[in-house]
């Protein structure tokens, strides 16, 4: 049996690459396909989460757009796209909760 030295990238690696390159991710979460603009990867009580804008969600206005927090373990069929995104103007690099630990983040303008 042959072993490939190249393994498929993990979800975490895809999220980090998407954040570093400001690229959208397509993923399934709770049975729904979403297009996510990931802004940060963080840890909460040992579990990984991504803060991302769901670009397919209908917002009443651009001012209302905000990041959702998605548990990495709940994401499936994650694919990195070549579609670029601009980080939210309101993004300030802060974590959702005081005891969360940041792992990786877009550069806030």
pLDDT tens digits along 59-71: 898 888 999 999 9
Q: How far apart are CA 42 and CA 34, in angstroms?
A: 19
For the question of whether the overall pTM of this predicted structure is more than 0.75, the answer is: yes
Q: How far apart are CA 95 and CA 83, in angstroms?
A: 25
The pLDDT of residue 2 is above 50: no
Q: How far apart are CA 81 and CA 35, in angstroms?
A: 9
For 37-57, letters b (16+ CB in 10 Å) and e give bbbbbbeeeeebbbbbbbeee
pLDDT tens digits along 4-59: 456 778 999 999 999 999 999 999 999 999 999 999 999 999 999 999 999 999 98
């Amino acid at each position: 049996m042959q072993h490939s030295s190249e393994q498929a990238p993990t979800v975490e690696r895809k999220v980090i690459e998407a954040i570093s390159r400001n690229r959208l991710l397509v993923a399934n979460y709770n049975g729904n396909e979403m297009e996510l603009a990931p802004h940060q990867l963080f840890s909460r009580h040992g579990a990984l989460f991504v803060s991302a804008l769901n670009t397919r969600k209908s917002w009443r206005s651009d001012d209302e757009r905000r990041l959702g927090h998605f548990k990495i373990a709940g994401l499936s069929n994650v694919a990195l796209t070549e579609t670029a995104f601009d980080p939210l103007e309101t993004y300030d690099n802060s974590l959702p909760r005081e005891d969360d630990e940041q792992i990786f983040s877009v550069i806030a303008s």
